């Protein structure tokens, strides 16, 4: 199966479940309907747009530059340090989190806020306890050098490296 198709399937199954289906279920359960949050709902469009665009860009780079998928057992064969990965080491997680944050704002959902914050903690722990040690083992000094140049979460906008 081509890597682009594996990435597409992963996207629908994993981020699709955790960033679309479960949030929809939370919002419908909490609110009883899929209703935007008053006059300020449109503010959620910004993180939604950034999140969707960021995820798409990162998945593209994983697929075509890294020759792998976002699924840890089918990870990129090459260390991806281009695109958004020039500015932060985890832009794909940040992008998914932005989609969750957008839904929190769009639907003014307290339960969605708790879900979104829980995922931020889960992403951080996963990165610290599994992903970084695995990448360090797989890519060695290249990954260490990358970590010294690029911050984990908040982007560095002067990526001159």
Alpha helices in 65-158 (DSSP H): 91-106, 110-126, 132-139, 141-149
Closest-CA residue to 99 (of 37, 134, 65, 54): 54
Domain range enclosing 90: 3-149
- Residue 67: pLDDT band (50, 70, 90) is very high
Give the pTM: 0.89
Assigned domain for 99 exists: yes
- Residue 43: pLDDT band (50, 70, 90) is confident
Residues near 159 by Cβ (< 8 Å), separated by ≥ 6? 86, 87, 150
> Which pLDDT score, from 0 to 100, does residue 79 have?
95
Assigned domain for 160 exists: no
In contact, 50 and 95? CB cutoff 8 Å: yes
pLDDT at 32 > cutoff 70: no
In contact, 96 and 90? CB cutoff 8 Å: no
CATH number, residue 124: 1.20.120.1630
- Residue 33: pLDDT band (50, 70, 90) is low
Assigned domain for 155 exists: no
Domain count, the chain: 1
Assigned domain for 143 exists: yes
Assigned domain for 144 exists: yes
């Amino acid at each position: 199966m081509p890597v682009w198709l594996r990435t597409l399937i992963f996207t629908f199954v994993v981020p699709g479940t955790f960033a679309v289906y479960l949030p929809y279920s939370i919002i419908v359960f909490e609110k009883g309907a899929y209703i935007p949050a008053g006059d300020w709902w449109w503010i959620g469009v910004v993180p939604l747009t950034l999140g969707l665009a960021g995820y798409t860009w990162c998945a593209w780079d994983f697929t075509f530059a890294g020759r792998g998928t976002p699924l840890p057992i089918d990870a990129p064969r090459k260390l991806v340090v281009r695109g958004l990965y020039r500015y932060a080491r985890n832009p794909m997680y940040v992008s998914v989190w932005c989609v969750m944050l957008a839904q929190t704002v769009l639907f003014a959902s307290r339960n969605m806020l708790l879900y979104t914050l829980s995922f931020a903690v889960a992403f951080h722990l996963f990165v610290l306890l599994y992903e970084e040690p695995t990448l360090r083992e797989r890519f060695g000094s290249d990954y260490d050098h990358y970590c010294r140049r690029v911050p984990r979460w908040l982007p560095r906008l002067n990526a001159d490296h």
